Structure 1
């Protein structure tokens, strides 16, 4: 378990204490600058051997000029008599406030939720201001940010940088007046692993209605209070240049809520399936018009906000990349994960040993495309990637489930990788081979138990097995399958190895099987008093009975399943068939996952509505119309009460009112809207130079009736 190295853990902490004590007693700029320079010379030493060890004697010149020239006499007096002593005292309290088990890193691919005392966070910020932390660089800490303010002070000649510093100083002044420290600050890292990851088919078959969309053309998201969860568009290394000269929306959000700066200290960079939720952070100021005439406003009654930090992909080099299915799916799942406001179950993956190590791109395939792109970048856009590969763990998240591959238990064949990069193919093949071997053993055990449980050996010897698609095995006895069965599975395959199986769902079978096992362990009658557990068990048994017609299990030979009333099925038989049943559940997951997961995880009364804006659109060249619909779709699947959208008067969103009215009249579902979005993206990729083509909003408005991008009866086509 990796711990953050705090200044109070270092051997020179007594020296730092002596210098901080001198700073707390300073009455002028010179008395303050001398000990700050000594602290910097002592602590700000990096691990990079190529860096110069010579101390930087100019690092605090910007702060000195700010105090002397920018502040008037009264403001300077308040700074030296109130603000500076308060900050030095809080920095000195670090050892006393340090958690007994230390400060842990929030590691990549590790679900985490940590509560911090507000005084402890303030102490960390004060130490960052005085630059007492060891130095970090992108080379020595590729997934982390530097928490010292040394680079911040270099840019205090800029007006917006001065407003940023005023927010920090006001925060410490406000804390002295704040009497209620009961509510803690929460940092929650949420991860969507492979068993919870939704594919394109999952979204296409989602029947949930669109949630209400409230449009705000005036104002900005920083004026929203604590009654909404607020979206913050970040870099994957959250914070960006906030402690340098940054003035993006992300930097403004973090600097006006200074407690969010602790993210830079202990949170590793976000990957494609991760978001970070912060709760209970104080917004103490507002910064207006950061790119023009900057204005700073102190809030007399600061809000305690809940903020969702999620990083949109950067398409500034090749904007057409955002139209690919893998790009859209990445943004949809990331937004859904953040909007749910609850971490999905079983989300944790093996914890990494250290936050310091080799740097990986969150989307390595994009880098490959950039290197290969010549004068015709669209040639590389016509082939969709099959996987999103996570840099830290190498785990592969599927784009679509239409690439089923079969092999024998002992086969060494790998998926067809003609259109995948060779390196990625080898990585995927190795993971699938490992999972294939483990799953084959589990499947053999399940079949052996089914053989032992069977009492009719003659009937067993006459049974023949066959499979269809990725549904596992289907029993073909003497009796003919009913009509509904034939309609659902029109393309029967020839007989094959008894232990053949699909690799598409091997990563999630164990999770599904364990969940079914917990529900079916108790062989008790179902009461009629409305007990939730009993109702759930009854529903699972009924669902299992309907799917048994399509599932392999010798233990069900001789049990008829009629079109009318379902015969009672012994619980012992259901337990034996649970592993085989999980194959069928995995197949039908693409139609049920979005609906069931959202209902189970989010159906409660305390879900907050969402406030968001043109997420990832300005410098990252995201299409505002596409980004808006992605967030709307994710909010609908997350069952949010409504989404409050600030358009920033973007001209591309002028028809948003018409789109909302049209979709409301048509009563479109999530699946129908994503169908239209994908159709538009496909046309745009194959005809990028068609200047007469309709934009996304115009195309949606022009659709006369519902359409489906994939035929529901044949999702593999």
Structure 2
């Protein structure tokens, strides 16, 4: 038994985990190409690290984000004299009302009036009860509402100035990256806060953006639950930071959709890699103790999950602590089985305690991570979505296991770097909460995917000592018996057959029996 692979928090500190800083990968020069859209002027960035917005204009088509200030974004207003309709640029209406919020000391009623002025069709369906309860509930000594709302309005108004180049949609079946400055993200999120993005207010099946997450904040404002109160505390803390001259962020963030064609996915039966270096701990969290590692976002296929709704588990918490991630919802189409989303450079703005209903925002976070030579913070996050097993026994089927292996592999693999340039993966109970995944099976799947991707892995069991012990026993047995990933895949195929006959067959016990009977 290799007990050194499991640890308490103190032992965890002594482990040698390869971080992004340790890898110190020097990127090539920042440059435009067909698979990478950059929203700043590259020539100004190279010598002086300036983050000036790249020239261009928005595009109003099915391949790009439809921007609030586009000339095609038309508002139909009623003429009071002739009781007829008149066309005018919607941005004119938006600007008029945001300027009022910027100049005054706005109340929730003022915000509602402004938002509904350019979204009149939702007059009877949108509520601002959540935002109103936030204002009433937050202690006066903590409240930043009246000070920060005018600043968010001013930030939103700067969108045409700061984001000029068309933003492509990260669509299914195509690998593509978008790099933009943190302040460009801030102005985009300020517009999401005031619900200005056109065609993004419905998720009905036939809607234009049915395959995209919501981005406008209307769904958040209408929910008066305690959990939403905590979400608003984190979001307003973010805006308070980015609108203060002394704390404005000054780097870049890259969002990259990665797609591996099915023909290039591994033949799992034939993989001869042995399991790599695996650590397991019941203490610590991915975002704190996994700082600087490749942090796995237990994602929904619509990235961000319920961050702008009622959801508040691992992915939503990650997006609230690092709100720049929320902008991915603006341009990332629903992930397919062979796709992931990578984010490099997102900043953490808040601390928290608890989980789900016990979640609480606990204050601002001081970010001290170093930056790479593209001025991105050394934080790497990968969003991979697990299957939702409404009937848990479905996960013990060969095709379901293969799907999860492929998804984890897509998230873990980075073909442009050698293994010693890749930080350790920080992961845990991926898809094991509301999605009903078996944590032993998911742990084994991620170990296999990491081995084929040639990366080390640390698994956080989130306080579950029994799970830690079980995973360590399995890992140790498989290492001692020198089973390859292909051998383990065959073992899981046999387990699926046996499980179909005996649905209470324990996976840990089966692995123990199988490995002890396998030849050395």
**Partner SS state of residue 366, structure 2:** strand
**Partner SS state of residue 73, structure 1:** coil
The one of 217, 222, 229 equivalent to 1:149 is: 217
Per the alignment, residue 473 of structure 2 pairs with 658
Per the alignment, residue 33 of structure 1 pairs with 109
- The yes-or-no answer on 1:106 pairing with 2:170 is yes
Per the alignment, residue 704 of structure 1 pairs with 516
**Partner SS state of residue 63, structure 2:** coil
Aligned length: 426
Per the alignment, residue 66 of structure 2 pairs with 5
1:279: how far off?
A: 1.0
- TM-score normalised per structure 2: 0.77
1:698: how far off?
A: 2.0
For 2:467 and 2:95, the matched residues in 1 are separated by 55
Contact 2:130 2:222 (C-alpha < 8 Å) held by counterparts: yes
Contact 1:167 1:255 (C-alpha < 8 Å) held by counterparts: yes
Is the alpha carbon distance of 1:609 and 1:180 closer, same or farther for their aligned partners in structure 2, counting shifts above 3 Å?
farther
- The yes-or-no answer on 1:218 pairing with 2:291 is no
Per the alignment, residue 413 of structure 2 pairs with 340
Per the alignment, residue 643 of structure 1 pairs with 457
CA deviation digits over 1:2-61, x for unaligned, max 9? 1111111132212211211111122252xx532x2343224336xxxxxxx361386223
The one of 411, 426, 438 equivalent to 1:623 is: 438
The one of 675, 691, 710 equivalent to 2:490 is: 675
| 1:571-590 equivalence runs, <5 A | none
Q: Which runs of 5+ in 2 are unaligned?
A: 1-61, 74-88, 370-376
For 1:181 and 1:26, the matched residues in 2 are separated by 26
Is the alpha carbon distance of 1:257 and 1:223 closer, same or farther for their aligned partners in structure 2, counting shifts above 3 Å?
same
CA deviation digits over 1:586-627, x for unaligned, max 9? xxxxxxxxxxxxxxx552432111000110111111111110
CA deviation digits over 1:437-469, x for unaligned, max 9? xxxxxxxxxxxxxxxxxxxxxxxxxxxxxxxxx
1:309: how far off?
A: 0.5
Per the alignment, residue 172 of structure 1 pairs with 239
1:169: how far off?
A: 0.9
1:332: how far off?
A: 0.7
**Partner SS state of residue 283, structure 1:** coil
The one of 261, 265, 268 equivalent to 1:203 is: 268
Per the alignment, residue 388 of structure 2 pairs with 314
Greater gyration radius: 1
Is the alpha carbon distance of 1:290 and 1:19 closer, same or farther for their aligned partners in structure 2, counting shifts above 3 Å?
same
- The yes-or-no answer on 1:266 pairing with 2:331 is yes
Contact 2:342 2:382 (C-alpha < 8 Å) held by counterparts: yes
- The yes-or-no answer on 1:23 pairing with 2:84 is no
**Partner SS state of residue 308, structure 1:** strand
For 1:191 and 1:33, the matched residues in 2 are separated by 45
1:225: how far off?
A: 4.8
- The yes-or-no answer on 1:247 pairing with 2:312 is yes
- TM-score normalised per structure 1: 0.57
Per the alignment, residue 137 of structure 1 pairs with 203
**Partner SS state of residue 656, structure 1:** helix
Per the alignment, residue 633 of structure 1 pairs with 448
Contact 1:90 1:123 (C-alpha < 8 Å) held by counterparts: yes
Is the alpha carbon distance of 1:631 and 1:61 closer, same or farther for their aligned partners in structure 2, counting shifts above 3 Å?
same
Q: Which runs of 5+ in 1 are unaligned?
A: 46-52, 343-600, 709-717
CA deviation digits over 1:296-327, x for unaligned, max 9? 222431354211111111112x2222122211
For 1:207 and 1:115, the matched residues in 2 are separated by 37
- The yes-or-no answer on 1:281 pairing with 2:359 is no
Compute the RMSD of aligned alpha carbons.
Answer: 2.2
The one of 126, 146, 149 equivalent to 1:84 is: 149
For 2:202 and 2:154, the matched residues in 1 are separated by 25
- The yes-or-no answer on 1:613 pairing with 2:424 is no
1:188: how far off?
A: 0.6
Per the alignment, residue 185 of structure 2 pairs with 121
CA deviation digits over 1:455-507, x for unaligned, max 9? xxxxxxxxxxxxxxxxxxxxxxxxxxxxxxxxxxxxxxxxxxxxxxxxxxxxx
Contact 1:313 1:616 (C-alpha < 8 Å) held by counterparts: yes
